[in-house]
Chains A and B, each alone.
Chain A
């Protein structure tokens, strides 16, 4: 008699899938689903380690001597002004670009490897949400979410369908399964992209500006969803964002990057409470949104009279 995945009740199906996915890992890593979101992160082994990382595009430095440990199970937010290099940091974390100096380790394995198979093995454990979703425009929302499963998991169509619908349900878009990316709004497209990013139940989820351009309702729902996914999947999440209020509500720790002539530098790292009490002038300016401070709103230029005389 054929195995009927649909015959299993929904919660058990999710658990079944988690177990099936993580059969090679200890049970403790599978079932942190009930852990409260507010609990302080245990100092688990590192999910990610930056050690003296430098990176630049051509002669333009972007990241300068960045050292950072991200612990398993935590939700780390990376904040900083526009153009400071936050997205580049995510690209470094996913191995899309390589640092010129220093090293990056993911789950204890070096990311800079010449062996593509090893790099891809690490990437299968990472989910990356791009700023604009990066959905495949010729595939429906359903097929976009199914894509990584079709590529990496040899599943029957029935199980694949159930999993995709579960992922879409998790982001509230099961009803959009048959729509094309051009038929959904930008915010919805990003949620579909989030469903795709978590399709393989990644251990590390990277979010690039997940709150940009969202209305207040979607923003709040997305923030809580990111926290919930992190806890339900037992994953580690890194969120690159500008949004102070929502980020401080969900993050375990916050890292603040500040620009410098030699590239972005880490100027503060701590819990949201610690950052609120920070005396660092850049952190204070960034959190308060002040025009006056070490970062100038206006790009340096000749006096305005020179241009209007």
Chain B
């Protein structure tokens, strides 16, 4: 390939990226402006909360438990060097509520619920179901994308909270039950060190932002994919890649904004 062709190819990629970003922003704006109409039909939203949340519950709970078990072990080994084993509860809780809960849940959510959303919308597009909705004077953004968007937005913070709760349980199992850290110190340090507004609310805000990012990316990828088996397959992969990167990037930005005053 000639150098000039490479430059042209690079330029085309950049333009394509900007166009996709614009289309994504436009779809997000369309979905958000349609939310009042979407919320008028709570049954559609609740079925999506069930689909996205309930079906991701098992993997989130099990992952939360194992992350808590590992955190308990690693935290104990590190804190023991400084004779601060009693702070294990605080370490486990802060790690989970501030970071691991929202981030790991969002990554799992992208893999479990995000991919299914993209594949579902993509296959609806390939099967002309979205066109059929339009032809029946039913807005697909309102009827299909909107409820799924709200479902993801509601399900993510709930899943992250359950992940953190299971993680704390895992930390307690390892630290208190298996290793023998004092249970009173474990819980009292945790309750005194974790601030409701600064830690828990910020964690909830983070998980809601991640829910927005992952769900909107999954919907966009499905809605804009080429209506072929290959197109749906590529879109599903792109959901995991773009969703995971967005979560990690946003996590850095949010952490810098939320905890910079510490």
Contact = CB atoms under 8 A, between A and B. Distances in A.
Interface stretch (B16-24, B93-101, B136-144, B167-175): B136-144
A151 B138 contact: yes
A119 B135 CA distance: 10
Nearest to A122: B137
A134 B129 contact: yes
Interface in B113-148: 127-129, 131-132, 134-139, 143
A190 to B, nearest CB: 12
A137 B124 CA distance: 9
B53 to A, nearest CB: 18
A147 B131 contact: no
A116 interface: yes
Interface stretch (A33-41, A124-132, A219-227): A124-132
A94 B135 contact: yes
A222 B135 CA distance: 22
B128 A151 contact: no
Nearest to B143: A151
B128 A152 contact: no
B130 to A, nearest CB: 9
Interface centre among B127, B129, B131, B132 (most CB of A within 10 A): B132
A130 B132 contact: yes
A273 B137 CA distance: 37
A135 B124 CA distance: 10
A288 interface: no
A123 B129 contact: no
A124 B131 contact: no
A147 B135 CA distance: 13
A152 B134 contact: no
Nearest to B120: A138
Nearest to A206: B135
Contact of B139 (A94, A116, A134): A116
B131 A96 contact: yes
Contacts of B139: 116, 120
A102 interface: no
A175 B136 CA distance: 25
Contacts of B129: 134-137
A270 interface: no
A148 interface: yes
A35 B136 CA distance: 28
A157 to B, nearest CB: 14
B137 A128 contact: no
Contacts of A119: 137
Nearest to B134: A96
Nearest to A123: B137
Interface string A101-144: 00000000000000010011101101010101011110000000
A134 B132 contact: yes
A218 to B, nearest CB: 21
A126 B127 contact: no
Nearest to A138: B120
B127 A96 contact: no
A154 to B, nearest CB: 13
A235 to B, nearest CB: 16
Given A134-B132, A136-B129, 17 more contacts: A94-B135, A119-B137, A120-B137, A120-B139, A123-B136, A124-B137, A128-B136, A130-B128, A132-B128, A134-B127, A137-B127, A137-B129, A147-B136, A148-B136, A148-B138, A151-B136, A151-B137
16 contacts: A119-B137, A120-B137, A120-B139, A126-B135, A128-B132, A128-B135, A130-B128, A134-B129, A134-B131, A134-B132, A136-B129, A136-B132, A137-B127, A148-B136, A151-B136, A151-B137
Interface of B: 127-129, 131-132, 134-139, 143
